[in-house]
């Protein structure tokens, strides 16, 4: 975020996050990329530093910070360094908001403390092999049998899927009722019948585990129902604006970092006896990218401040997710091009940014769906 929106407390927090990334994340990130997942130690260290469940009440182990700027700072600093392995945002931006909004006091006391310390890792399981943007097509069922639900089905593309301990799962509790028969059920690691599939191989985000989940007659206590039965689809709509804003934040910061690397490269790299940045075509490209990013940044910061006041609409979040990820994709492609052959080498940060970013126009709802949301709102649908 631009400094004009930050207090001295925010800036101190930003410095602490930067030190944490420098000390506890980046020295290990290359190995995590090879392993396909991070060490649980980094989650525990994040918990020790108060970077998990920041907006959760202190009585449940959180920091009690009701200011979205702190969450935005953490996401920005991680994205700026390309530290995409630790899926802290999955817990903070996806899991915690649902638990805050819909969990009972007993559930909060049971799950929040371990999420806050990093002892437990959260995940959100919505997508299925035949149900991505169309969540109403989900087929995973949770049929009540006495004081348990029996869960059967499959989820895919689940971030933190291998390491997760607390999994908010979108299920059909009454398959005959369509979207009105869906619910959110919290599954926990160790439940019999909950199986992890392979750690999926992706073109980017190599240090972040993304997995398939299989449910074979998993017995889940009724006490693990989140909110009311039959309101799962409505509950998912509740947090999608914040989730989409987090994608916009990551997109803009990735592009900002890549552009900084590219500007340095254009000053240092020579061709035909002079720095490549001295060629008019390259200067024009840099001017275009800097301007487009500045516009995106102003829009993004406005959306962040709306979220601080809890006034960010679904339409504005869709705009931010679509526009920022598209602008970032265009800029990252141009940064690679300006690096020439070196831009294709993974030892250069722009190559990793390019690959890691590619999913942003896809997840949290594809950009095509974002345009549909915006278009419908314009027409009053």
In angstroms, the first-to-last Cα distance of the chain is 33
Q: Are 139 and 125 in contact (CB under 8 A)?
A: no
The answer to whether 326 and 370 are in contact (CB under 8 A) is no
Domain termination residue (choose one: 87, 120, 153): 120
What is the DSSP secondary structure assignment for residue 227, as one 8-state letter?
A: S
The total domain count for the chain is 3
The structure tokens listed for 340 are 């020439």
| 42-72 per-position pLDDT tens digit | 999 999 999 999 999 999 999 999 999 999 9
Average pLDDT of the chain to the nearest whole number? 96
50 and 177 assigned to the same domain:
no
What percent of the chain shows pLDDT beyond 90? 94
Q: Are both 218 and 256 inside the same structural domain?
A: no
Say what the pLDDT of residue 179 is: 83
Query: Where among 197, 230, 263 does a domain terminate?
Result: 230
CATH of the domain at 245: 1.20.140.10
Positions marked active-site: 243
* Residue that is written with structure tokens 């254009």 in the block: 266
* CA within 13 Å, CB half, 264: 8
CATH number of the structural domain spanning residue 214:
2.40.110.10
**Which pLDDT does position 137 carry in this prediction?**
81
Judge if 256 and 285 occupy the same domain.
yes
The per-residue pLDDT for 249 is 98
d(CA 68, CA 136): 30
pLDDT at 132: 76
pLDDT at 9 (0 to 100): 97
Mark which of 99, 120, 141 sits at the end of a domain: 120
Asked if 2 and 301 count as a contact pair (C-beta separation under 8 A), the reply is yes
Residue 133 has pLDDT above 80, yes or no: no
> Do 149 and 244 lie in a common domain?
no
| pLDDT of amino acid 131 | 80
224 and 242 both lie in a single domain = no
Domain of residue 111 covers 3-120
Tell how strand 166-172 and strand 122-125 pair up: parallel
Of the CA atoms within 13 Å of residue 234, those in its CB half-sphere come to 10
């Amino acid at each position: 975020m631009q400094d004009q929106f930050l207090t001295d407390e925010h800036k101190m927090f930003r410095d602490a996050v930067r030190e944490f990334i420098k000390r506890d994340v980046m020295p290990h990130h290359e190995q995590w990329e090879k392993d396909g997942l991070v060490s649980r130690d980094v989650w525990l260290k994040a918990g020790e530093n108060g970077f998990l469940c920041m907006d959760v009440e202190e009585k449940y182990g959180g920091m009690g910070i009701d200011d979205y700027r702190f969450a935005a700072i953490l996401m920005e600093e991680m994205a700026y360094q390309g530290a995409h392995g630790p899926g802290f945002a999955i817990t903070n931006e996806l899991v915690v908001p649902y638990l805050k909004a819909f969990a009972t006091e007993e559930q909060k006391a049971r799950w929040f403390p371990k999420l806050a310390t990093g002892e437990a890792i959260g995940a959100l399981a919505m997508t299925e092999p035949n149900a991505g943007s169309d969540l109403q097509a989900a087929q995973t069922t949770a049929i009540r049998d006495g004081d348990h639900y029996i869960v059967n089905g499959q989820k895919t593309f689940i971030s933190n899927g291998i390491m997760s301990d607390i999994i908010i799962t979108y299920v059909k509790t009454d398959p005959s009722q369509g979207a009105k028969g869906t619910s959110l059920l919290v599954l926990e690691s160790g439940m019999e019948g909950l199986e992890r599939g392979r750690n999926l191989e992706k073109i980017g985000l190599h240090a972040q585990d993304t997995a398939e989940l299989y449910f074979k007659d998993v017995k889940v206590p009724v006490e693990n129902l989140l909110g009311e039965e039959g309101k799962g689809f409505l509950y998912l709509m509740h947090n999608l604006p914040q989730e989409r804003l987090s994608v916009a934040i990551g997109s803009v910061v990735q592009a900002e970092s890549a552009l900084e690397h590219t500007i340095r490269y254009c000053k240092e790299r020579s061709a035909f006896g002079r720095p490549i940045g001295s060629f008019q075509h390259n200067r024009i490209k840099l001017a275009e990218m800097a301007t487009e990013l500045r516009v995106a940044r102003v829009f993004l910061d406005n959306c962040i401040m709306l979220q601080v006041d809890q006034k960010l609409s679904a339409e504005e979040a869709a705009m931010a997710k679509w526009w920022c990820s598209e602008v970032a994709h265009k800029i990252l492609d141009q940064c690679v091009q300006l690096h020439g052959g070196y831009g294709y080498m993974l030892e250069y940060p722009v190559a990793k940014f390019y690959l890691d970013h590619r999913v942003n126009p896809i997840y949290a709802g594809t950009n095509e769906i974002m345009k549909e949301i915006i278009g419908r709102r314009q027409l009053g649908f």
